[in-house]
Amino acid sequence: MSVEPNASGAAATPAPTDFVRDIVAQHVTEKRYAKIVTRFPPEPNGYLHIGHAKSICLNFGIARENNGQCNLRFDDTNPVKEDVEYVDSITTDVQWLIAGWADHCLGFKPKGAHPEAVTSNGRPDFFRAPVAPGANAEPFFASDYFEQIYGYAVELIKRGKAYVCDLSPEDTEAYRGAPDRPGKDSPFRHRSVAENLDLFTRMRAGEFPDGARTLRAKIDNSSPNMWLRDPLLYRIRHVAHHHAGDKWCIYPLYDFAHCLSDYLEGITHSICTLEFDAHRALYDWTLESLDLPRSLPHQYEFAKLNLGYTIVSKRKLLQLVQDKSVAGWDDPRMPTISGLRRRGIPASALRRFVTGVGVTKFDSVTDVAVFEHAVREELNASAQRRLAVLKPIKLVLTNIAPGEVLECDATNNPQDETPTTRKLALTREVFIDCDDFAEVPPPKYFRLKPGGEVRLKYACIIKCDELVKDSSGQITELRCTADLTTRAGGPNVDRKVKGTIHWVSATQSIETEVRLYDRLFTVPEPDADGEFKKHLNPRSLEVVTARLETSLGAATLAERFQFERLGYFALDPKDSAPGRLVFNRTITLKDAWAPKK
């Protein structure tokens, strides 16, 4: 079993095992292939989501564990739904997710890598292009193979295994029959090879309008597998292509282009999700029918990642973007890779999660708590602790003189082997969170209450002497005394009180926007009734004006913080600018949704 460094490079995690890896291991033992080659083949019709992260880590992981190669390839056969915006976002997301992961390999920096993903030791193989040597780090495009794929279609026609069909889309569908009813042969099925070649050439030349003709495989219209009932191979679409330009007016269907792209790239293991199970026969038929030189790629299917309280479908996520239920594909509440990144989730946490859930053949829904746990584990080890107050209420320490500053040492990360500290300023006026004070406390309330005592973390014990209210009865300040003998080094430092709360100095702190995210949906399976939008959480975003300890003014995009007692936070990479910091809450400290014990 090989061992990989994780994000921090500290702990080592054993490489995962699963049924796909077992198959690959068997092939390696048999020396069946010179090299293991996989691919991740997104269609550029939306942003990648957390489900895709699983596929990326599986495909790149298997390649990496076997000294192989994994290609990021755009399956871009449907120009109507695709866009270069999606090509760019997908490339960025994949590079961000895997770049830091391949650190043990040769020196290589993927071109256009995400700034956070820059690695000193990337892996050139992951992006090596067989068709364009030197195009390291560039993704592959099925559309770059259109000419070859067209050639294969011509070859199928010559072998009497494909024909041009003039049935309308509706008739084609009707002729296909149903799973419990055989289909009917098209009246155009027996055209001669010469006529088919002529018509197909003219289809390419643009002689016919959209939908007038198709190229179909000649297989078996009575097959129980609907995908073998003379499936379409090419259709006419008079539209330009985002990558191939305006060269084509006929486009291959996904099934035809996919197996041939795999073949052209020398893919050995074409790993996809269970819904493609029924397509495998067509995948094999196409490659076998062309009598291609061996070795041929093979398709293997695994169950999709489904996550509780989450939608993993590009089509449905697109609806949320289009109807402005969220602020865009990279809204930090979205389960997109760009949303998760913007929210502050480290790539290593995402990898840890999608790898940890395993690979099976059974559809299931993974509890979102498993994901959140992976994120907390990762951040607990790496995040710097800081003090911040999300909903400030002013507290006056009446026995500290105005202008007086008492320094306190605060620990940066207790998880470090030798934790370091920084200085905090205790001043006459401080802020505490209004949730940490109750005028009429419930039983067993250990935070601050009239006449009660708490410890201000890293500082001292304070006692609440008096409430000051405005004319409307709102509390405007709490007047307290600080027991300075309970400070570090003081004679009563060991004096115990039941509650410890966080605070910041009113005069030595910064005011900042903080965005508090909650789950986007209120139910574990938002799409169970097909009406996922009805289950959007109206309180998925709360924006507060918080007070943060001054050191956070120098925060950088790459840093992660634990605001003590509140959760993990990171700068919003999009809306933060010099002089205007915006923090996102990446995740709360514990599962606020867990049933109360």
Nearer to ligand ATP, 54 or 457 (CB): 54
Collapse the DSSP code of 283 into the 3-class scheme (helix H, G, I; strand E, B; otherwise coil) and give the result: helix
Nearer to ligand ATP, 223 or 273 (CB): 273
Nearer to ligand ATP, 136 or 313 (CB): 313
Q: Does 162 bind ligand ATP (CB under 6 A)?
A: no
Stretch that binds ligand ATP, among 211-219, 309-317, 457-465, 575-583 (CB under 6 A): 309-317
Nearer to ligand ATP, 364 or 485 (CB): 364
Which has the closest alpha carbon to 582: 516, 532, 528?
Answer: 516
Report the residue from 70, 253, 296, 312 that binds ligand ATP according to the rule CB under 6 A. 312
Report d(CA 109, CA 119) in Å as an integer. 6
Q: How far is the CB of 328 from ligand ATP (least distance, A)?
A: 17
Q: Does 217 bind ligand ATP (CB under 6 A)?
A: no
Q: How far is the CB of 277 from ligand ATP (least distance, A)?
A: 11
Collapse the DSSP code of 161 into the 3-class scheme (helix H, G, I; strand E, B; otherwise coil) and give the result: coil
Q: Does 304 bind ligand ATP (CB under 6 A)?
A: yes
Q: Does 142 bind ligand ATP (CB under 6 A)?
A: no
Parallel, antiparallel, or unpaired: how do β-strands 453-456 and 421-426 relate? Answer: unpaired
Core vs surface per residue 22-58: b (16+ CB within 10 A) or e: eebeebbeeeebeebbbbbbbbbbbbbbbbbbbbbbb
CB neighbours of 557 closer than 8 A, spacing ≥ 6?
Answer: 115, 116, 570, 571, 573, 576
Q: Does 526 bind ligand ATP (CB under 6 A)?
A: no
Q: Does 424 bind ligand ATP (CB under 6 A)?
A: no
Total residues at interface with ligand ATP (CB under 6 A): 15
Q: How far is the CB of 315 from ligand ATP (least distance, A)?
A: 6
Number of H helices, E strands in the chain: 12, 29
* C-beta separation of 475 from 490 below 8 A: no
* C-beta separation of 479 from 462 below 8 A: no
Stretch that binds ligand ATP, among 96-104, 307-315, 327-335, 451-459 (CB under 6 A): 307-315
Q: Does 314 bind ligand ATP (CB under 6 A)?
A: yes
Q: Does 43 bind ligand ATP (CB under 6 A)?
A: yes
Collapse the DSSP code of 68 into the 3-class scheme (helix H, G, I; strand E, B; otherwise coil) and give the result: coil
**How many of the other CB atoms lie within 10 Å of CB of 404?**
12
Nearer to ligand ATP, 43 or 171 (CB): 43
Which has the closest alpha carbon to 126: 98, 150, 84?
Answer: 98
Q: Show the tokens assigned to 445.
A: 């309330």
Torsion of Cα atoms, 439 then 475 then 446 then 462, to 10°: -120
Q: How far is the CB of 46 from ligand ATP (least distance, A)?
A: 6
Question: 188, exposed or middle or buried, with CB in 10 Å at 0-12, 13-18, 19+?
Answer: middle
Q: How far is CA 182 from the centre of its chain?
A: 42
Strand partners, 547: 389, 511
Q: Does 384 bind ligand ATP (CB under 6 A)?
A: no
Report the residue from 42, 100, 297, 339 that binds ligand ATP according to the rule CB under 6 A. 42
Under rule CB under 6 A, which residues in 47-66 are in contact with ligand ATP?
A: 51-52, 54-55
Q: Does 315 bind ligand ATP (CB under 6 A)?
A: yes
Q: Does 319 bind ligand ATP (CB under 6 A)?
A: no
Q: How far is the CB of 462 from ligand ATP (least distance, A)?
A: 51
Report the residue from 201, 313, 411, 481 that binds ligand ATP according to the rule CB under 6 A. 313
Q: How far is the CB of 449 from ligand ATP (least distance, A)?
A: 49
Q: How far is the CB of 154 from ligand ATP (least distance, A)?
A: 27
Nearer to ligand ATP, 57 or 456 (CB): 57
Q: How far is the CB of 52 from ligand ATP (least distance, A)?
A: 5
Q: Does 279 bind ligand ATP (CB under 6 A)?
A: no
Parallel, antiparallel, or unpaired: how do β-strands 140-141 and 69-74 relate? Answer: parallel
Q: Does 272 bind ligand ATP (CB under 6 A)?
A: yes
**How many of the other CB atoms lie within 10 Å of CB of 321?**
18
Residue 438's alpha-carbon distances to 320, 450, 468, in angstroms, are 39, 8, 14
Q: Does 41 bind ligand ATP (CB under 6 A)?
A: yes
Nearer to ligand ATP, 43 or 195 (CB): 43
Chain residues in the site for ligand ATP (CB under 6 A): 41-43, 51-52, 54-55, 272-273, 304-305, 312-315
